Amino acid sequence: MTTHPPKGPTAPGTESLSQLGRQTVQPESPETAELERVPAPHKGRRYVVRFTAPEFTSLCPVTGQPDFAHIVIDYIPRDWIVESKSLKLYLTSFRNHGAFHEDCSVTIATRLVELLDPEWLRIGAYWYPRGGMPIDVFWQTGPAPDDVWIPAQDVPGYRGRG
């Protein structure tokens, strides 16, 4: 009854993937993490893809304490989309990496821009409070195109207690 039955690791356009549908190991650093891409479906249609990563964690570069963030990435593909399992492994590779909030957030976006050469991309990084006061970082590659639909990220602000 399955009309488009699962095709396994040899599905069209996925032959070269080294991680999807396979047992993988956690990369130890962002440098050694392998971000992979596949051809964007529906060429000529300008759509937005949003990834939400509520479990991002890295280290403070000065004190070594763990930092946590909720990260949301929006992009409009040109020729490529990112393969999501490799993106997940890339993001988890920051687990033992030390960097400032502003630096870390923009670095992730930069790596994706290099890989995908997207028409447009933005990142919102919503960091957990330190000293009672959270930092958020927002960056995009350029003005958002007027004619593509890009919903607000609408991550709720931090409210303290009570």
Does residue 82 have a known ligand-binding role? yes
Does residue 28 have a known ligand-binding role? no
Note whether 133 binds Ca ion by CB under 5 A: no
Please state the closest distance from residue 43 (CB atom) to a copy of itself, in A: 11
Q: Are 121 and 75 in contact (CB under 8 A)?
A: yes
Other C-beta atoms closer than 10 Å to the C-beta of 51 total: 16
Determine which residue in the list 36, 48, 67, 70 makes contact with Ca ion, applying CB under 5 A: 70
Please state the closest distance from residue 118 (CB atom) to a copy of itself, in A: 13
| Residue 94, φ and ψ in degrees, nearest 5 | -80, 0
Q: How far apart are CA 36 and CA 129, in angstroms?
A: 32
Q: How far is C-alpha 152 from the geometric centre of its chain's CA atoms?
A: 17
Closest by Cα among 25, 47, 44 to 34: 25
Does residue 38 have a known ligand-binding role? no
Determine which residue in the list 78, 80, 97, 115 makes contact with a copy of itself, applying CB under 8 A: 97
Note whether 53 binds a copy of itself by CB under 8 A: yes
Point out which residues bind Ca ion (CB under 5 A).
Answer: 54, 70, 152, 154, 159-160, 162
